[in-house]
């Protein structure tokens, strides 16, 4: 029995993005992304397989939004750290 499939994203859906998209969103280089992730200043990647990693889009988007809020003199919104 197969469940009905919908193509509309749900509120709890996790969207994984690969490094090129993370670089595009953040404007950072690959080494900087990994260095910041290790230091806890950028979302860490999720291991998807033996040789595959990705980032959770909402975490990367939240990081970018917090940078924009800081620039605008606003307190960054609380985000979950993973």
pLDDT digits (tens, 9 = 90+) for 58-69: 999 999 999 999
Whole-angstrom Cα distance, residue 68 to residue 81? 18
* 4 located within any domain: no
- Domain enclosing residue 51, as ranges: 16-71
Mean predicted confidence (pLDDT) in 14-28: 98
- Which pLDDT does position 42 carry in this prediction? 98
The SS3 call for residue 74 is coil
d(CA 73, CA 44): 26
Q: What pLDDT band is residue 75 in, cutting at 50, 70 and 90?
A: low
Give the helix ranges, DSSP H, for the chain: 19-26, 30-38, 57-71
Number of structural domains (the chain) is 1
Domain assignment present for 1: no
Supply the pTM of this predicted model: 0.74
């Amino acid at each position: 029995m197969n469940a009905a499939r919908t193509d509309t994203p749900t509120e709890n859906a996790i969207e994984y993005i690969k490094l090129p998209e993370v670089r595009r969103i953040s404007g950072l280089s690959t080494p900087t992304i990994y260095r910041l992730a290790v230091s806890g200043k950028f979302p860490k990647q999720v291991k998807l397989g033996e040789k595959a990693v990705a980032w959770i889009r909402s975490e990367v988007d939240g990081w970018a939004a917090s940078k924009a809020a800081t620039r605008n003199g606003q307190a960054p919104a609380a985000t979950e750290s993973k």
